[in-house]
């Protein structure tokens, strides 16, 4: 079966996000009262697997090995 | 004795390190493409640059290449392995060193001289320094903001694995001397056995007086001495 997955990696809560902070400041300069901006990276992955469970398992491995850095990131996997 | 400088797509400090090791210090050194073997070498340098365009995270793609398995093998055999700048990022991404390197607190490429205090001289790369000595080397990075959780940090400190800290000219660890937001002003760390060093500052850009500082040369001189004793 062919699956499409959406992986989102994001800095763990409380981890400094200088890019998000800079964007927040820029929005505030434009007059928007924004209380927080957090950046995340989204990866759209197409893959073959026997089942959705197998696909999730493989994607989780990919996140652990390469796509996320478990020291500083949380990640989520959505299968379509 | 022979050293290898590993080249990934996007490495760009490889020739600077080669110049210091080969021309200045006279050590047989090869530039080795990442698809080739490093098994017969006595020490490895992973130079700075922007391997694979810093895609995904700085160092992450290079860290997943097969040659890093060989680097782990050499490190386990006690051979000296040094990662400079992007090389440090590759070492933490591949798990050879603990922690992570995040985007600088001020999220811009930062290129300037840094004063560093030598915290541990009992490693493969710092035996030629004096403990507490303040040395100058340049930094040039956007992702050099070292992070480790509290447990890892306490391990690093209790095993004397922090080798360089950013300090002021007087040698004090102060926030103003921290160029990137690294926890506890950490600029470089070693593994527990002291034969794998990762550092953000560039010793190869400070190894001849004409460059403004020759302090970095001691990193390579220490590495050579360590390898000779090997």
- Domain boundaries of chain A, sorted by first residue: 2-79
CATH code for residues B3-229: 3.40.50.880
Q: What is the pTM (predicted TM-score) of this model?
A: 0.93
Interface predicted TM-score (ipTM): 0.79
pLDDT truncated to tens, each residue of chain B (230 aa)?
999 999 999 999 999 999 999 999 999 999 999 999 999 999 999 999 999 999 999 999 999 999 999 999 999 999 999 999 999 999 999 999 999 999 999 989 999 999 999 999 999 999 999 999 999 999 999 999 999 999 999 999 999 999 999 999 999 999 999 999 999 999 999 999 999 999 999 999 999 999 999 999 999 999 999 999 97
CA distances from B156 to B8, B36, B40, B149, B169 (A): 29, 33, 31, 10, 25
Query: How far is Cα B227 from Cα B71, in angstroms, rounded to an integer?
Result: 15
Q: Would you call A7 an interface residue with chain B, using a CB distance cutoff of 8 Å?
A: no
Query: Higher-confidence residue: B226 or A26?
Result: B226
Q: Would you call B64 an interface residue with chain A, using a CB distance cutoff of 8 Å?
A: yes
Residues B11, B115, B105, B109, CA torsion sign: negative
**What single-letter DSSP state applies at residue B199?**
E
pLDDT of residue A80: 86
> DSSP secondary structure string, chain A?
-EEEEEEEEEEPTTS--HHHHHHHHHHHHTT---S----EEEEEEEEE-SSHHHHHHHHHHHIIIIIS-TTTEEEEEEE-
Query: How far is Cα B63 from Cα B72, in angstroms, rounded to an integer?
Result: 11
Q: Please name the residue that has the structure tokens 């491995």.
A: A61
Cross-chain Cβ contact A71/B147 below 8 Å:
yes
Q: How confident is the model at residue A16 (pLDDT cuts 50, 70, 90)?
A: confident
pLDDT of residue B56: 92
CA angle B221, B92, B1 (to 5 degrees): 30
Residue A77 has pLDDT above 80, yes or no: yes
Q: How confident is the model at residue A78 (pLDDT cuts 50, 70, 90)?
A: very high
Nearest CB to B103; choose among A18, A65, A69: A18
The burial class, CB within 10 Å (0-12 / 13-18 / 19+), for B45 is: buried
- Domain boundaries defined on chain B: 3-229
Closest chain B residue to the Cα of A19, Cα to Cα: B107
**Distance in Å from the first CA to the final CA of chain A:** 12
Q: Please name the residue that has the structure tokens 């290129």.
A: B111
Q: Which CATH fold topology does A2-79 show?
A: Mth169; Chain: A , (3.30.1280)
pLDDT of residue B72: 98
Closest chain A residue to the Cα of B101, Cα to Cα: A72
Question: Average pLDDT of A63-71?
Answer: 94
Query: How far is Cα B179 from Cα B115, in angstroms, rounded to an integer?
Result: 10
């Amino acid at each position: 079966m062919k699956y499409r997955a959406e992986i989102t990696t994001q800095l763990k809560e409380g981890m400094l996000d200088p890019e998000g902070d800079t964007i927040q400041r820029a929005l505030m300069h434009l007059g928007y009262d924004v209380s927080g901006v957090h950046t995340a990276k989204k990866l759209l992955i197409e893959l073959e697997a026997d089942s959705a469970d197998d696909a999730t398992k493989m994607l989780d491995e990919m996140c652990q090995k390469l796509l996320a850095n478990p020291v500083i990131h949380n990640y989520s996997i959505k299968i379509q | 004795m022979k050293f290898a400088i590993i080249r990934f797509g996007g490495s760009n400090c490889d020739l600077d390190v080669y110049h210091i090791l080969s021309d200045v210090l006279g050590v047989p050194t090869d530039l080795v493409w990442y698809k080739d073997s490093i098994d017969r070498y006595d020490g490895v340098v992973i130079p700075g640059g922007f391997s694979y365009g810093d895609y995904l995270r700085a160092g992450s793609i290079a860290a997943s290449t097969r040659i890093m398995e060989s680097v782990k093998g050499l490190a386990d055999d006690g051979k000296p392995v040094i990662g400079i700048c992007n090389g440090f990022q590759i070492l933490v991404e591949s798990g050879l060193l603990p922690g992570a390197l995040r985007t600088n607190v001020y999220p811009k490429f930062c290129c300037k001289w840094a004063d560093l205090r030598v915290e541990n001289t009992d490693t493969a790369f710092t035996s030629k320094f004096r403990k507490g000595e303040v040395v100058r080397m340049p930094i040039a990075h956007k992702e050099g903001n070292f992070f480790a959780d509290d447990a890892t940090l306490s391990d690093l400190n209790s095993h004397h694995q922090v080798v360089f800290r950013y300090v002021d000219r007087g040698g004090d660890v102060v926030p103003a001397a921290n160029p990137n937001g690294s926890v506890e002003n950490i600029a470089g760390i070693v593994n527990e056995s002291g034969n794998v060093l990762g550092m953000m500052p560039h010793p190869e850009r400070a190894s001849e007086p004409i460059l403004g500082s020759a302090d970095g040369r001691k990193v390579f001189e220490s590495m050579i001495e360590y390898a000779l004793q090997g």
